[in-house]
Structure 1
């Protein structure tokens, strides 16, 4: 059993970054349809299988002509070229009405916009049969209003580099290249555990002394929003023997080893803190971080007999403490590994006086609006309503004990927690 650690927030963050960085280094690859690829990270360079555009086409509605035929002499108008159809070769001395996006006919190298033609309209079908002519003045250079083949991207060129996070524009070019599936970094599969005999599932009637389990839902959805697949096994018993058996069964039930297991609860100094009591014997170190809420923490490589070793993070059981711990230590590593946008730290004006405990970084809830931060809920770590109403955390360093209203402070923007 390792001695309890005592760390500052930066020290613990560094330790977790190193540990999780190894766990999330090789997540594997999966092939998915474009509909499921939003915000996923490409596993390899995406090479264009064809040029884009695939052929020369018209940039606007007008007349396709050969530039050398432009002048004051009327040109005979031939059959219209519409988008989505093949084009017949254009004979010299003629002009073909062409629609935006339609392929350029062989023999044509320029498009004259309809507004520049005399008359500035396309012929009716009856007029075309009678020999309609049009005058297209001089001055247009060869290639005017023509989108050339490959002007967007050449066949064989890298359209998107490995590691690109797929947003709407990236997915747009993939679809435009005719690609229906992409290879992306697989989502890490996380096993999430809650502990506590007092916890029951939402929707269950409460017996005396019981509360509903908020942590499983809170952390499961936070992990999913951070790009993970999450397995849960409900609330584990506070009996060391039963907890150990349930833990072993959960780990061995997985088709592949988990890169990460996260628990909440059972790591303080109470008489029934089963996570700490059991797992401290199998490679997980427990201790405290100079942060409130979220002081008790555990982390390490769990080597439970009969199971594959697995990276394990033990979070405190109070819901606010668990969520603050996730935001401060776990989500930043997931963001780096999976290409999520990092949380923003902004400078805000504090709207009221605040007191802070010496020796610990305070991570307090509140609202950030129009450059101002308003605290909510105080320091207590059980106040879920204040957490749900917040969109930011104020970060008060461990040496500060008082802040006046109007002070400029650092706030971590969490939005709705997604």
Structure 2
């Protein structure tokens, strides 16, 4: 983390906030070698190059018969069966002119052959075959190296490994892969009114849900998660927990306590034991978002309202974690849509309204807000399928106006 002594109480545009966050942190340098079987969703630490070609030899794409063709053999050509080539058990003799070898899918082409005719297209007799159709040179043959060439880069550094990548690594004989160490993320939730699900609610209490959303969002990013539970609104308790988290995590996520209420102690504590780089972002929902450091750990203070916490995590924290993991920058894919009903907005903050998008019979997208857009209404996002992206200075949009959406 790069130090920067500044505090910005005014609203910072979201693009500026994200740019500063990314500038103030570096990708993790630690890497580890793991089994390819355990590599799903891990981030490659280096580019991977093939140490062999795939397939290693010319082989058959079909079950059938292999033989040599100069240019084309006509239908009704008769060939004597000389032997058999199986996958894993090749036929190593030179195949004579006018002869063929029975071959299975994946078997190496025998010496002297360059073509395969699938068995459904031949008439098989006791020791010979007759072609039912003409055959051209190279039919039904997989050429050596047609998938991967020797020395070819097969996976770039910073790539998130998929099941297809795992198969690709196995196909070039790699049992292990070097990946970036997973970031360690600590979750700290504050609030005297919060109780975990399963306990009886007393007067004035609510069930704590932010940890559950963050757990799921972090699991999708494949990081190491550390839970510090619900911390009471007491400065000494918050100091102890945040200092402990700073010794064990790369990134601390705190929910609540970063606004301006009398019991919002997290921001005050951060100012004493760490550093505040900025506080308050021009985003809706989610204005009270704090960014800074505690010792060597990055600190992101999320709002306490559940939708605000969810949106600020996706829009600010997720790109930060991508940077830590050495991943390529996130690309937001937007779609043009028409407002199916009026959309209300005040200028001043970028607004990520939760919407329902659908396509008409012409394939054009329409969108409408998913009910009330309050920052505490989690059903507005749970039952939505997109964000309606409204720029900072955008105001009300009438029915039929054009806007941009981001599908979930």
Q: Does 1:344 align with 2:344?
A: no
CA positional deviation for 1:270: 0.9
Within-5 A mapping of 1:90-129: 90-93=94-97, 94-106=99-111, 108-114=112-118, 120-123=122-125, 127=126
Within-5 A mapping of 1:61-76: 61-67=63-69, 74-76=78-80
Unaligned runs of 5+ residues in structure 1 are: 304-308
Residue 378 (structure 2) aligns with: 384
CA positional deviation for 1:141: 6.1
Within-5 A mapping of 1:17-416: 17-19=22-24, 22-23=25-26, 25-67=27-69, 74-93=78-97, 94-106=99-111, 108-114=112-118, 120-123=122-125, 127=126, 132-134=127-129, 143-252=138-247, 254=248, 258-281=249-272, 282-285=274-277, 287-303=279-295, 309-335=296-322, 337-339=326-328, 342-370=331-359, 371-413=365-407, 415=408
Instruction: Tell me if the contact between 1:286 and 1:296 (Cα under 8 Å) persists in the aligned partners.
Output: no
Q: Does 1:16 align with 2:21?
A: yes
CA distance in 2, matches of 1:310, 1:73: 76
Q: 1:5 to 1:360 in 2, by over 3 A?
A: same
Residue 306 (structure 1) aligns with: none
CA positional deviation for 1:27: 4.5
Task: Tell me the SS of whatever aligns to 2:124.
Answer: coil
CA positional deviation for 1:91: 4.7
Instruction: Tell me if the contact between 2:53 and 2:150 (Cα under 8 Å) persists in the aligned partners.
Output: yes
CA distance in 2, matches of 1:59, 1:349: 49
Task: Tell me the SS of whatever aligns to 1:247.
Answer: helix
Normalising to structure 2: TM-score of the pair? 0.85
Task: Tell me the SS of whatever aligns to 1:162.
Answer: coil
Instruction: Tell me if the contact between 1:319 and 1:381 (Cα under 8 Å) persists in the aligned partners.
Output: yes
Partner deviation per Cα, 1:280-301 (whole Å, 9 max, x = no partner)? 1231245322232211121112
Query: Which structure has the larger Rg over C-alpha atoms?
Result: 1
CA positional deviation for 1:89: 0.3
CA distance in 2, matches of 1:403, 1:41: 41
CA distance in 1, matches of 2:204, 2:128: 92
Task: Tell me the SS of whatever aligns to 1:11.
Answer: helix
CA positional deviation for 1:314: 0.8
Instruction: Tell me if the contact between 1:377 and 1:383 (Cα under 8 Å) persists in the aligned partners.
Output: no
Instruction: Tell me if the contact between 2:117 and 2:139 (Cα under 8 Å) persists in the aligned partners.
Output: no
Residue 362 (structure 2) aligns with: none
Q: 1:82 to 1:378 in 2, by over 3 A?
A: same
CA distance in 1, matches of 2:348, 2:284: 10
CA distance in 1, matches of 2:348, 2:78: 88
CA positional deviation for 1:251: 3.2
Unaligned runs of 5+ residues in structure 2 are: 360-364
Q: 1:248 to 1:66 in 2, by over 3 A?
A: same
CA distance in 1, matches of 2:215, 2:346: 30
Normalising to structure 1: TM-score of the pair? 0.84
Instruction: Tell me if the contact between 2:95 and 2:110 (Cα under 8 Å) persists in the aligned partners.
Output: no
CA distance in 2, matches of 1:102, 1:395: 55
Aligned length: 392
Using the TM superposition, name which of 69-78 and 366-375 deviates more: 69-78
Using the TM superposition, name which of 146-155 and 229-238 deviates more: 146-155
| Aligned-residue RMSD, C-alpha | 2.9
CA positional deviation for 1:109: 2.4
Using the TM superposition, name which of 63-72 and 153-162 deviates more: 63-72
Partner deviation per Cα, 1:205-257 (whole Å, 9 max, x = no partner)? 212211111111112211221332221110122111121122223333x3xxx
